[in-house]
């Protein structure tokens, strides 16, 4: 599977449509924004970048580990349902997300979309206000469920024709858009920042590298899935989030103006942004503060200049950077990372909504 390369991926063109939403209040319309990263590759930092924003709701009140959407496997859902139920509800009447019934597997895209809205509605609708905030961010879903369903992956998503669930309709919501933010983590950042990767590499460097390569192929497949179906998509990188935070904020603002300007200096608050049941590893530190305390060269062997348009890059040669892979594996890893980096370089202009390859200036 992995030796096939990216012939179709490198020749496909990104969707050059409108932004995910417009600025200001739009009565009756909301945005479900899927956050997609590899597991244990900075997903908490990406989620935390949206904390402290009154225009954005999350699923953290659902009392799931790491504020994640429901697992698709029944055993995992049962375990997380039990774990979440051992903690008090953040607000009266809120269910545990993992305890909510899921629709049967192998649905088409519209059915998966409707099922996700039904399960997410209590946490969107009850996010401390009488009406639903403009944006709900959700890790992984409904993207991963669509990718897992052959029927869904073969269809074009028609959210315009899917009625909103009664709980959202009662809040005045008539239509929900879908968009996604995918985050790439350079290989050397995974090696330098992840304690999980460090332990796995000690156990078996080859096994870890093979699984890392497979997972990177999967996120490329998900990006291609979204692009092929015209779903508004912004691709960023963990390096950009930590070491070019103003650029990251400007890109998100241009892509999803309805979410407002993110505050990466916000320190996540237990009991407001996240809860004990989530077990988030945020350590009372902002995303901006985390990046400021870590030098990219010292932590991750990355090079970058102070020029505003510069990007941090892994400094090691391929045979060292991709240790554990054979020559063909290293070539594929470079191709996968190159594909994601090409998407990271795309920019949204704040005016006009056109994707470009130029930098976005924070305003």
Q: What percent of the chain has pLDDT over 70?
A: 83
Q: Residue 66 in 3-state DSSP?
A: helix
pLDDT tens digits, one per residue of 40-66: 899 999 999 999 999 999 999 999 999
* Whether pLDDT at 183 is above 80: yes
Residue that wins the pLDDT comparison between 151 and 277: 277
Domain annotation covers residue 98: yes
Measured between alpha carbons, how far is 46 from 20 in angstroms, rounded to an integer? 18
Domain annotation covers residue 301: no
Q: Of the candidates 138, 41, 50, which has an alpha carbon nearest to the alpha carbon of residue 337?
A: 41
| Other beta carbons less than 10 A from residue 95's beta carbon | 17
- The pLDDT of residue 142 is 93
- The pLDDT of residue 346 is 78
* Whether pLDDT at 340 is above 50: yes
pLDDT band at residue 239, thresholds of 50, 70 and 90? very high
Q: What is the extent of the structural domain holding 56?
A: 28-186+216-291+335-356
Angle at 338 between CA 301 and CA 10, to 5 degrees: 175
pLDDT band at residue 304, thresholds of 50, 70 and 90? low
Measured between alpha carbons, how far is 236 from 125 in angstroms, rounded to an integer? 29
Domain annotation covers residue 318: no
Tokens of 113: 């979309």
- The pLDDT of residue 99 is 94
Domain annotation covers residue 87: yes
Q: Of the candidates 232, 201, 129, 215, which has an alpha carbon nearest to the alpha carbon of residue 172?
A: 129
Domain annotation covers residue 283: yes
Q: Residue 35 in 3-state DSSP?
A: strand
Single pTM value for the model: 0.89
Mean pLDDT of 223-235: 92
Angle at 154 between CA 71 and CA 120, to 5 degrees: 35
Domain annotation covers residue 208: no
- The pLDDT of residue 153 is 67
Q: Residue 231 in 3-state DSSP?
A: coil
* Whether pLDDT at 9 is above 50: no
Q: Of the candidates 153, 93, 103, 115, which has an alpha carbon nearest to the alpha carbon of residue 32?
A: 115
Domain annotation covers residue 124: yes
With a CB cutoff of 8 Å and minimum separation 6, the contacts of 133 are 30, 54, 55, 56, 57, 124, 127
pLDDT tens digits, one per residue of 105-126: 778 888 899 999 999 999 997 6
Q: Residue 56 in 3-state DSSP?
A: strand
- The pLDDT of residue 363 is 30
Residue 271 parent element (H or E): none
Residue 158 parent element (H or E): none
pLDDT band at residue 300, thresholds of 50, 70 and 90? very high
Instruction: State the angle between helix axes of 195-203 and 205-228 in degrees (0 to 180), rounded to the nearest 10.
Output: 130
| Other beta carbons less than 10 A from residue 96's beta carbon | 21
Domain annotation covers residue 298: no
- The pLDDT of residue 202 is 94
Residue that wins the pLDDT comparison between 357 and 227: 227
Mean pLDDT of 197-225: 95
- The pLDDT of residue 71 is 66
Asked if residue 221 lies in contact with residue 38, where contact means CB atoms within 8 angstroms, the answer is no
Identify each DSSP E strand in the chain by its residue range. Answer: 29-36, 56-57, 135-139, 175-184, 233-237, 302-303, 313-314, 347-348, 355-356
Domain total in the chain: 1
Tokens of 265: 């200096």
Asked if residue 24 lies in contact with residue 109, where contact means CB atoms within 8 angstroms, the answer is no
Q: What percent of the chain has pLDDT over 90?
A: 66
Tokens of 362: 């924070």
- The pLDDT of residue 158 is 57
* Whether pLDDT at 84 is above 80: yes
Where does residue 50 fall: left (phi above 0), alpha (psi -120 to 50 degrees), or beta otherwise? Answer: alpha
Average pLDDT of the residues of the chain: 85
Mean pLDDT of 212-223: 96
- The pLDDT of residue 240 is 94
Residue that wins the pLDDT comparison between 358 and 39: 39
């Amino acid at each position: 599977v992995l030796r096939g390369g990216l012939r179709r991926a490198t020749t496909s063109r990104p969707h050059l449509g409108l932004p995910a939403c417009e600025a200001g209040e739009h009565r009756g319309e909301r945005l479900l924004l899927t956050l997609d990263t590899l597991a244990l590759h900075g997903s908490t930092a990406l989620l935390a970048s949206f904390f402290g924003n009154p225009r954005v709701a999350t699923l953290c009140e659902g009392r799931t580990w790491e504020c994640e959407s429901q697992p698709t496997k029944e055993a995992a859902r049962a375990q997380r349902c039990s774990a979440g139920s051992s903690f008090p509800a953040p607000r009266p009447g809120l269910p545990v997300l993992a305890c909510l019934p899921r629709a049967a597997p192998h649905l088409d895209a519209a059915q998966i979309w409707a099922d996700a809205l039904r399960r997410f509605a209590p946490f969107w609708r009850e996010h401390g206000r009488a009406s639903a905030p403009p944006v709900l961010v959700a890790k992984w879903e409904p993207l991963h469920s669509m990718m897992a369903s052959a029927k869904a992956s073969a269809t074009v998503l028609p959210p315009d024709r899917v009625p909103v669930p009664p709980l959202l309709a009662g809040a005045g919501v008539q239509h929900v858009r879908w968009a996604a933010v995918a985050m790439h983590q350079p290989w050397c950042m995974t090696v330098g920042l992840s304690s999980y990767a460090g332990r796995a590499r000690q156990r078996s460097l080859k096994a870890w590298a093979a699984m890392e390569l497979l997972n990177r192929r999967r996120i490329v497949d998900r990006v291609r899935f979204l692009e092929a179906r015209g779903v508004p998509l912004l691709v960023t990188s963990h390096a950009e989030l930590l070491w070019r935070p103003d650029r990251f904020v400007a890109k998100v603002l241009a892509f999803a103006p309805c979410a407002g300007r993110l505050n990466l200096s916000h320190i996540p608050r237990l009991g407001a942004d996240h809860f004990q049941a989530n077990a988030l590893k945020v350590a009372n530190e902002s995303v901006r503060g985390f990046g400021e305390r870590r030098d990219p060269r010292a932590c991750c062997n990355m090079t970058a200049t102070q020029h505003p348009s510069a990007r941090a890059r892994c400094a090691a040669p391929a045979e060292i950077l991709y240790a554990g892979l054979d020559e063909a594996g290293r070539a594929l890893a470079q191709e996968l990372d190159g594909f994601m980096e090409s998407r990271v370089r795309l920019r949204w202009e704040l005016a006009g909504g056109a994707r470009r390859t130029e930098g976005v200036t924070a305003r």
